[in-house]
Structure 1
Protein backbone atom coordinates (compact mmCIF):
# COMPACT_ATOMS: atom_id res chain seq x y z
CA UNK A 1 0.00 0.00 0.00
CA UNK A 2 1.39 3.36 -1.00
CA UNK A 3 0.44 6.32 1.22
CA UNK A 4 -0.91 9.17 -0.87
CA UNK A 5 -2.55 7.10 -3.61
CA UNK A 6 -6.27 7.36 -3.02
CA UNK A 7 -7.86 5.73 -6.07
CA UNK A 8 -6.98 2.96 -8.50
CA UNK A 9 -8.86 1.47 -11.41
CA UNK A 10 -7.91 -1.32 -13.80
CA UNK A 11 -8.48 -1.20 -17.50
CA UNK A 12 -6.98 -1.17 -20.96
CA UNK A 13 -4.72 1.39 -22.56
CA UNK A 14 -2.40 1.95 -25.50
CA UNK A 15 -4.45 0.70 -28.40
CA UNK A 16 -6.18 2.30 -31.34
CA UNK A 17 -9.45 0.38 -31.72
CA UNK A 18 -12.52 1.38 -29.68
CA UNK A 19 -14.00 -0.40 -26.68
CA UNK A 20 -11.57 -3.17 -25.78
CA UNK A 21 -12.65 -5.86 -23.34
CA UNK A 22 -10.96 -8.75 -21.61
CA UNK A 23 -12.36 -11.17 -24.19
CA UNK A 24 -11.57 -8.81 -27.08
CA UNK A 25 -8.52 -6.85 -25.93
CA UNK A 26 -7.50 -6.03 -29.48
CA UNK A 27 -4.27 -3.98 -29.53
CA UNK A 28 -4.48 -2.82 -25.89
CA UNK A 29 -2.47 -3.64 -22.79
CA UNK A 30 -3.89 -4.30 -19.36
CA UNK A 31 -3.19 -1.27 -17.20
CA UNK A 32 -4.13 0.44 -14.00
CA UNK A 33 -4.86 4.08 -13.46
CA UNK A 34 -4.23 5.86 -10.18
CA UNK A 35 -4.95 9.20 -8.57
CA UNK A 36 -2.73 10.57 -5.86
CA UNK A 37 -2.31 13.47 -3.47
CA UNK A 38 0.78 15.40 -4.56
CA UNK A 39 1.16 16.79 -1.02
CA UNK A 40 1.68 13.25 0.33
CA UNK A 41 3.62 11.54 -2.47
CA UNK A 42 5.41 12.50 -5.65
CA UNK A 43 5.01 10.98 -9.08
CA UNK A 44 8.71 10.10 -8.90
CA UNK A 45 8.11 8.06 -5.72
CA UNK A 46 5.21 6.25 -7.36
CA UNK A 47 7.31 5.35 -10.40
CA UNK A 48 10.15 4.16 -8.13
CA UNK A 49 7.64 1.87 -6.40
CA UNK A 50 6.50 0.63 -9.80
CA UNK A 51 9.96 -0.75 -10.62
CA UNK A 52 9.99 -2.86 -7.47
CA UNK A 53 6.46 -4.18 -7.84
CA UNK A 54 6.34 -5.65 -11.32
CA UNK A 55 8.41 -7.79 -13.66
CA UNK A 56 10.05 -5.34 -16.07
CA UNK A 57 11.71 -8.09 -18.09
CA UNK A 58 8.35 -9.62 -19.02
CA UNK A 59 8.75 -10.67 -22.65
CA UNK A 60 5.54 -12.57 -23.32
CA UNK A 61 5.24 -11.10 -26.77
CA UNK A 62 1.59 -10.39 -26.06
CA UNK A 63 0.49 -6.77 -26.21
CA UNK A 64 -2.03 -7.55 -23.45
CA UNK A 65 0.75 -8.07 -20.89
CA UNK A 66 3.34 -5.54 -22.05
CA UNK A 67 5.31 -3.67 -19.43
CA UNK A 68 4.39 -0.04 -20.08
CA UNK A 69 4.29 3.25 -18.23
CA UNK A 70 1.78 5.66 -19.75
CA UNK A 71 2.51 9.31 -19.04
CA UNK A 72 0.10 12.24 -19.11
CA UNK A 73 2.53 15.10 -19.74
CA UNK A 74 6.15 15.91 -20.52
CA UNK A 75 7.12 16.09 -16.84
CA UNK A 76 5.83 12.56 -16.19
CA UNK A 77 7.65 11.34 -19.30
CA UNK A 78 10.97 12.72 -18.09
CA UNK A 79 10.47 11.32 -14.59
CA UNK A 80 9.61 7.87 -15.96
CA UNK A 81 12.57 7.81 -18.36
CA UNK A 82 15.05 9.00 -15.71
CA UNK A 83 13.66 6.49 -13.23
CA UNK A 84 14.02 3.63 -15.71
CA UNK A 85 17.66 4.59 -16.34
CA UNK A 86 18.39 4.69 -12.58
CA UNK A 87 16.72 1.32 -12.03
CA UNK A 88 18.53 -0.29 -14.96
CA UNK A 89 21.87 1.06 -13.69
CA UNK A 90 21.08 -0.21 -10.21
CA UNK A 91 20.34 -3.77 -11.34
CA UNK A 92 22.90 -3.82 -14.14
CA UNK A 93 20.65 -4.66 -17.08
CA UNK A 94 18.13 -3.00 -19.34
CA UNK A 95 14.41 -3.71 -19.50
CA UNK A 96 11.83 -3.66 -22.24
CA UNK A 97 9.40 -1.49 -20.29
CA UNK A 98 7.95 1.02 -22.72
CA UNK A 99 7.23 4.62 -21.80
CA UNK A 100 4.41 5.97 -23.95
CA UNK A 101 1.91 8.85 -23.95
CA UNK A 102 -1.50 8.08 -22.49
CA UNK A 103 -4.10 8.06 -25.20
CA UNK A 104 -7.34 6.73 -23.77
CA UNK A 105 -7.98 4.56 -20.74
CA UNK A 106 -10.94 2.17 -20.89
CA UNK A 107 -12.20 0.74 -17.62
CA UNK A 108 -12.03 -3.04 -17.40
CA UNK A 109 -15.15 -5.03 -16.69
CA UNK A 110 -16.61 -4.73 -13.19
CA UNK A 111 -15.48 -8.19 -12.13
CA UNK A 112 -11.84 -7.13 -12.67
CA UNK A 113 -12.13 -4.09 -10.40
CA UNK A 114 -10.79 -4.63 -6.87
CA UNK A 115 -10.27 -8.24 -7.89
CA UNK A 116 -8.76 -9.56 -4.64
CA UNK A 117 -11.47 -7.97 -2.51
CA UNK A 118 -14.17 -9.44 -4.73
CA UNK A 119 -12.83 -12.95 -4.10
CA UNK A 120 -13.57 -12.74 -0.37
CA UNK A 121 -17.31 -13.32 -0.07
CA UNK A 122 -17.81 -11.69 3.36
CA UNK A 123 -16.00 -8.52 2.28
CA UNK A 124 -17.54 -8.42 -1.18
CA UNK A 125 -21.01 -8.61 0.34
CA UNK A 126 -20.22 -5.66 2.61
CA UNK A 127 -18.98 -3.52 -0.25
CA UNK A 128 -22.07 -4.27 -2.34
CA UNK A 129 -24.14 -2.86 0.53
CA UNK A 130 -21.82 0.12 1.08
CA UNK A 131 -21.56 0.95 -2.64
CA UNK A 132 -24.65 -0.19 -4.56
CA UNK A 133 -23.44 1.96 -7.47
CA UNK A 134 -20.53 0.12 -9.11
CA UNK A 135 -18.72 3.35 -10.06
CA UNK A 136 -18.71 4.43 -6.42
CA UNK A 137 -17.16 1.06 -5.56
CA UNK A 138 -14.56 1.34 -8.34
CA UNK A 139 -13.61 4.87 -7.22
CA UNK A 140 -13.64 4.12 -3.48
CA UNK A 141 -10.48 4.72 -1.48
CA UNK A 142 -11.68 2.21 1.12
CA UNK A 143 -12.24 -0.48 -1.51
CA UNK A 144 -8.78 0.25 -2.94
CA UNK A 145 -7.18 -0.15 0.50
CA UNK A 146 -9.11 -3.31 1.38
CA UNK A 147 -8.24 -4.81 -2.02
CA UNK A 148 -4.59 -4.08 -1.32
CA UNK A 149 -4.79 -5.78 2.08
CA UNK A 150 -6.51 -8.79 0.47
CA UNK A 151 -3.60 -9.02 -1.98
CA UNK A 152 -1.06 -9.13 0.85
CA UNK A 153 0.03 -5.52 1.10
CA UNK A 154 0.00 -3.60 4.36
CA UNK A 155 0.63 -4.66 7.91
CA UNK A 156 -1.65 -6.00 10.61
CA UNK A 157 -0.70 -3.03 12.80
CA UNK A 158 -1.80 -0.53 10.17
CA UNK A 159 -4.96 -2.49 9.38
CA UNK A 160 -5.99 -2.43 13.04
CA UNK A 161 -5.56 1.35 13.03
CA UNK A 162 -7.88 1.90 10.07
CA UNK A 163 -10.18 -1.11 9.82
CA UNK A 164 -13.15 0.66 11.41
CA UNK A 165 -13.03 3.36 8.74
CA UNK A 166 -13.86 0.81 6.01
CA UNK A 167 -17.44 0.28 7.23
CA UNK A 168 -17.22 -3.52 7.19
CA UNK A 169 -19.50 -5.81 9.16
CA UNK A 170 -17.98 -7.81 12.00
CA UNK A 171 -17.78 -10.78 9.61
CA UNK A 172 -16.05 -8.65 6.98
CA UNK A 173 -13.58 -7.28 9.54
CA UNK A 174 -12.80 -10.79 10.79
CA UNK A 175 -12.25 -12.06 7.25
CA UNK A 176 -9.89 -9.18 6.47
CA UNK A 177 -7.97 -9.58 9.74
CA UNK A 178 -7.62 -13.32 9.06
CA UNK A 179 -6.25 -12.62 5.58
CA UNK A 180 -3.65 -10.14 6.78
CA UNK A 181 -2.68 -12.33 9.74
CA UNK A 182 -2.23 -15.19 7.27
CA UNK A 183 0.33 -13.15 5.38
CA UNK A 184 2.30 -12.83 8.64
CA UNK A 185 2.84 -9.09 8.40
Structure 2
Protein backbone atom coordinates (compact mmCIF):
# COMPACT_ATOMS: atom_id res chain seq x y z
CA UNK A 1 0.00 0.00 0.00
CA UNK A 2 2.86 2.37 0.89
CA UNK A 3 4.48 1.69 -2.49
CA UNK A 4 1.24 2.56 -4.31
CA UNK A 5 0.86 5.80 -2.34
CA UNK A 6 4.49 6.71 -3.06
CA UNK A 7 4.03 6.03 -6.77
CA UNK A 8 0.89 8.20 -6.87
CA UNK A 9 2.68 11.00 -5.01
CA UNK A 10 5.60 10.90 -7.45
CA UNK A 11 3.22 10.94 -10.42
CA UNK A 12 1.44 14.01 -9.05
CA UNK A 13 4.77 15.72 -8.31
CA UNK A 14 6.14 15.18 -11.84
CA UNK A 15 2.80 16.22 -13.35
CA UNK A 16 2.88 19.48 -11.40
CA UNK A 17 6.51 20.12 -12.34
CA UNK A 18 5.80 19.51 -16.03
CA UNK A 19 2.74 21.77 -15.91
CA UNK A 20 4.75 24.55 -14.25
CA UNK A 21 7.54 24.24 -16.81
CA UNK A 22 5.05 24.28 -19.69
CA UNK A 23 3.49 27.43 -18.24
CA UNK A 24 6.93 29.08 -18.09
CA UNK A 25 7.63 28.17 -21.72
CA UNK A 26 4.27 29.53 -22.81
CA UNK A 27 4.97 32.83 -21.08
CA UNK A 28 8.21 33.15 -23.05
CA UNK A 29 6.42 32.41 -26.33
CA UNK A 30 3.59 34.86 -25.56
CA UNK A 31 5.86 37.71 -24.42
CA UNK A 32 6.10 41.00 -26.29
CA UNK A 33 9.30 41.07 -28.35
CA UNK A 34 12.13 43.38 -27.31
CA UNK A 35 13.54 45.58 -30.07
CA UNK A 36 17.31 46.02 -29.82
CA UNK A 37 18.30 49.52 -31.02
CA UNK A 38 20.81 50.00 -33.83
CA UNK A 39 24.20 51.01 -32.43
CA UNK A 40 26.82 52.76 -34.59
CA UNK A 41 24.91 51.68 -37.69
CA UNK A 42 24.99 48.02 -36.68
CA UNK A 43 21.96 45.84 -36.06
CA UNK A 44 21.64 42.62 -34.05
CA UNK A 45 19.90 39.32 -34.69
CA UNK A 46 19.57 36.18 -32.56
CA UNK A 47 19.52 32.51 -33.52
CA UNK A 48 19.78 29.08 -31.84
CA UNK A 49 20.85 26.14 -33.98
CA UNK A 50 22.70 23.48 -32.03
CA UNK A 51 26.18 24.04 -30.62
CA UNK A 52 27.01 27.75 -30.61
CA UNK A 53 30.63 27.01 -31.55
CA UNK A 54 29.34 25.87 -34.96
CA UNK A 55 26.81 28.65 -35.48
CA UNK A 56 29.25 31.39 -34.51
CA UNK A 57 31.65 30.32 -37.28
CA UNK A 58 28.89 30.06 -39.89
CA UNK A 59 27.69 33.61 -39.42
CA UNK A 60 31.15 35.11 -39.28
CA UNK A 61 31.74 33.80 -42.81
CA UNK A 62 28.95 36.02 -44.20
CA UNK A 63 29.63 39.45 -45.69
CA UNK A 64 28.28 42.25 -43.54
CA UNK A 65 28.54 40.31 -40.27
CA UNK A 66 30.99 42.03 -37.94
CA UNK A 67 30.83 39.63 -35.06
CA UNK A 68 29.06 36.54 -33.75
CA UNK A 69 28.84 36.10 -29.97
CA UNK A 70 27.96 32.86 -28.19
CA UNK A 71 25.40 32.86 -25.39
CA UNK A 72 22.03 31.70 -24.15
CA UNK A 73 18.48 32.77 -24.94
CA UNK A 74 14.88 31.56 -25.03
CA UNK A 75 14.63 30.50 -21.39
CA UNK A 76 12.85 31.57 -18.24
CA UNK A 77 15.73 31.96 -15.76
CA UNK A 78 18.22 34.75 -15.17
CA UNK A 79 21.99 34.47 -15.56
CA UNK A 80 22.12 31.02 -17.20
CA UNK A 81 25.47 29.27 -17.36
CA UNK A 82 26.79 26.48 -19.57
CA UNK A 83 26.26 24.01 -16.74
CA UNK A 84 22.73 25.13 -15.88
CA UNK A 85 21.53 25.35 -19.49
CA UNK A 86 22.80 21.82 -20.10
CA UNK A 87 20.33 20.49 -17.54
CA UNK A 88 17.47 21.51 -19.82
CA UNK A 89 15.63 23.04 -16.86
CA UNK A 90 16.37 26.71 -17.58
CA UNK A 91 14.59 26.68 -20.94
CA UNK A 92 17.56 28.37 -22.60
CA UNK A 93 19.15 27.23 -25.84
CA UNK A 94 22.71 27.81 -26.95
CA UNK A 95 22.36 30.91 -29.10
CA UNK A 96 24.34 33.50 -31.00
CA UNK A 97 24.10 37.27 -31.20
CA UNK A 98 24.88 38.44 -34.72
CA UNK A 99 26.17 42.00 -35.06
CA UNK A 100 25.75 43.04 -38.69
CA UNK A 101 25.58 45.98 -41.07
CA UNK A 102 22.01 46.11 -42.48
CA UNK A 103 23.33 48.09 -45.46
CA UNK A 104 25.38 45.06 -46.51
CA UNK A 105 23.36 42.06 -45.35
CA UNK A 106 19.65 41.87 -44.58
CA UNK A 107 17.83 40.06 -41.80
CA UNK A 108 16.19 38.00 -44.53
CA UNK A 109 19.58 36.77 -45.75
CA UNK A 110 20.57 35.88 -42.19
CA UNK A 111 17.44 33.73 -41.93
CA UNK A 112 18.34 32.05 -45.24
CA UNK A 113 21.79 31.31 -43.81
CA UNK A 114 20.16 29.92 -40.68
CA UNK A 115 18.18 27.30 -42.57
CA UNK A 116 21.03 26.58 -45.00
CA UNK A 117 23.48 25.80 -42.20
CA UNK A 118 21.55 23.06 -40.41
CA UNK A 119 19.37 20.01 -40.72
CA UNK A 120 16.04 21.89 -40.51
CA UNK A 121 14.03 18.80 -39.61
CA UNK A 122 16.09 17.65 -36.61
CA UNK A 123 14.21 18.21 -33.36
CA UNK A 124 16.01 19.24 -30.16
CA UNK A 125 19.50 19.21 -31.60
CA UNK A 126 21.89 19.34 -34.51
CA UNK A 127 24.14 16.48 -35.53
CA UNK A 128 25.51 14.65 -32.50
CA UNK A 129 24.24 17.29 -30.04
CA UNK A 130 20.85 16.47 -28.57
CA UNK A 131 18.70 18.07 -25.90
CA UNK A 132 16.47 21.13 -25.51
CA UNK A 133 19.56 23.31 -24.99
CA UNK A 134 20.49 22.52 -28.61
CA UNK A 135 17.06 23.09 -30.13
CA UNK A 136 16.54 25.40 -33.09
CA UNK A 137 14.96 28.80 -32.42
CA UNK A 138 14.73 31.96 -34.53
CA UNK A 139 14.10 35.08 -32.49
CA UNK A 140 12.15 38.05 -33.86
CA UNK A 141 12.21 41.62 -32.56
CA UNK A 142 9.19 42.96 -34.44
CA UNK A 143 6.29 41.77 -36.58
CA UNK A 144 8.18 42.35 -39.84
CA UNK A 145 10.89 39.92 -38.78
CA UNK A 146 8.29 37.45 -37.54
CA UNK A 147 6.54 37.41 -40.91
CA UNK A 148 9.85 36.92 -42.75
CA UNK A 149 10.65 33.92 -40.55
CA UNK A 150 7.20 32.34 -40.82
CA UNK A 151 7.07 32.69 -44.62
CA UNK A 152 10.52 31.17 -45.08
CA UNK A 153 9.73 28.36 -42.66
CA UNK A 154 6.47 27.60 -44.49
CA UNK A 155 8.19 27.65 -47.89
CA UNK A 156 10.92 25.29 -46.68
CA UNK A 157 8.33 22.91 -45.20
CA UNK A 158 6.60 22.73 -48.58
CA UNK A 159 9.89 22.27 -50.43
CA UNK A 160 11.02 19.42 -48.18
CA UNK A 161 7.52 18.08 -47.55
CA UNK A 162 8.46 17.83 -43.88
CA UNK A 163 7.97 19.55 -40.56
CA UNK A 164 10.56 22.25 -39.83
CA UNK A 165 11.87 21.97 -36.28
CA UNK A 166 12.81 25.62 -35.73
CA UNK A 167 10.71 27.35 -33.10
CA UNK A 168 9.83 31.04 -33.50
CA UNK A 169 10.21 33.10 -30.30
CA UNK A 170 9.89 36.79 -29.47
CA UNK A 171 13.33 38.02 -28.48
CA UNK A 172 13.63 38.87 -24.78
CA UNK A 173 17.24 38.83 -23.64
CA UNK A 174 20.60 37.43 -24.68
CA UNK A 175 22.98 36.23 -22.00
CA UNK A 176 26.62 36.19 -23.12
CA UNK A 177 28.33 32.84 -22.55
CA UNK A 178 31.52 32.29 -20.61
CA UNK A 179 34.70 33.76 -22.14
CA UNK A 180 36.15 30.37 -23.06
CA UNK A 181 33.25 29.73 -25.48
CA UNK A 182 33.90 32.84 -27.59
CA UNK A 183 35.62 32.34 -30.97
CA UNK A 184 36.09 28.73 -29.97
CA UNK A 185 36.54 27.35 -33.47
CA UNK A 186 39.22 29.91 -34.37
CA UNK A 187 41.09 29.47 -31.10
CA UNK A 188 40.90 25.66 -30.98
CA UNK A 189 41.22 24.39 -34.58
CA UNK A 190 42.70 21.07 -33.42
CA UNK A 191 39.94 20.27 -30.94
CA UNK A 192 38.36 16.94 -31.98
CA UNK A 193 34.80 18.34 -31.92
CA UNK A 194 35.86 21.32 -34.03
CA UNK A 195 37.64 19.10 -36.56
CA UNK A 196 34.91 16.47 -36.77
CA UNK A 197 31.71 18.52 -36.37
CA UNK A 198 32.15 22.30 -36.57
CA UNK A 199 34.48 22.57 -39.58
CA UNK A 200 32.55 20.02 -41.70
CA UNK A 201 29.31 21.87 -40.89
CA UNK A 202 30.87 25.19 -41.93
CA UNK A 203 32.20 23.65 -45.17
CA UNK A 204 28.77 22.20 -46.05
CA UNK A 205 27.19 25.59 -45.50
CA UNK A 206 29.73 27.46 -47.63
CA UNK A 207 29.40 24.91 -50.43
CA UNK A 208 25.64 25.46 -50.66
CA UNK A 209 25.33 29.19 -49.95
CA UNK A 210 25.71 31.84 -52.69
CA UNK A 211 29.43 32.63 -53.02
CA UNK A 212 28.79 36.34 -53.51
CA UNK A 213 27.33 36.53 -49.99
CA UNK A 214 30.39 35.02 -48.34
CA UNK A 215 33.61 36.68 -47.24
CA UNK A 216 36.69 35.85 -49.26
CA UNK A 217 39.43 33.74 -47.68
CA UNK A 218 37.47 33.26 -44.48
Q: Distance in 1 between matches of 2:121 and 2:159?
A: 15
Q: Distance in 1 between matches of 2:189 and 2:94?
A: 23
Deviation per CA, 1:26-72: give whole Å up to 9, x if none.
Answer: 22111111021111111111101111101222224732011110111
Q: 1:103 aligns with which of 161, 169, 172?
A: 172
Aligned residue pair count: 132
SS for the counterpart of 1:20 is coil
Q: Which residue of 1 aligns with 2:123?
A: 59
> Is the Cα contact below 8 Å between 2:91 and 2:133 reproduced in 1?
yes
Q: 1:12 aligns with which of 65, 72, 76?
A: 72
With normalisation by structure 2, the TM-score equals 0.55
SS for the counterpart of 1:93 is coil
Q: Which residue of 2 aligns with 1:158?
A: 216
Q: Distance in 2 between matches of 1:158 and 1:66?
A: 30
Q: Which residue of 2 aligns with 1:48?
A: 112
Map of 1:82-97 to 2, 5 A cutoff? 82-97=151-166
With normalisation by structure 1, the TM-score equals 0.64
Deviation at 1:80, TM superposition (A): 0.7
Q: Which residue of 1 aligns with 2:63?
A: 3
Q: Gaps (5+ residues) in structure 1?
A: 122-146, 163-185
Q: Gaps (5+ residues) in structure 2?
A: 1-60, 125-129, 191-197
Q: Distance in 2 between matches of 1:12 and 1:110?
A: 13
Map of 1:170-185 to 2, 5 A cutoff? none
Alignment RMSD, CA only? 2.5
Map of 1:105-144 to 2, 5 A cutoff? 105-120=174-189
Greater length-normalized contact order (CA 8 Å, ≥ 6 residues apart) = 2
Q: Distance in 2 between matches of 1:101 and 1:8?
A: 20
Deviation per CA, 1:96-150: give whole Å up to 9, x if none.
Answer: 21011011100111111111112149xxxxxxxxxxxxxxxxxxxxxxxxx99xx
Q: Which residue of 2 aligns with 1:27?
A: 91
Deviation per CA, 1:132-178: give whole Å up to 9, x if none.
Answer: xxxxxxxxxxxxxxx99xx65779x932xx8xxxxxxxxxxxxxxxx
SS for the counterpart of 2:180 is helix
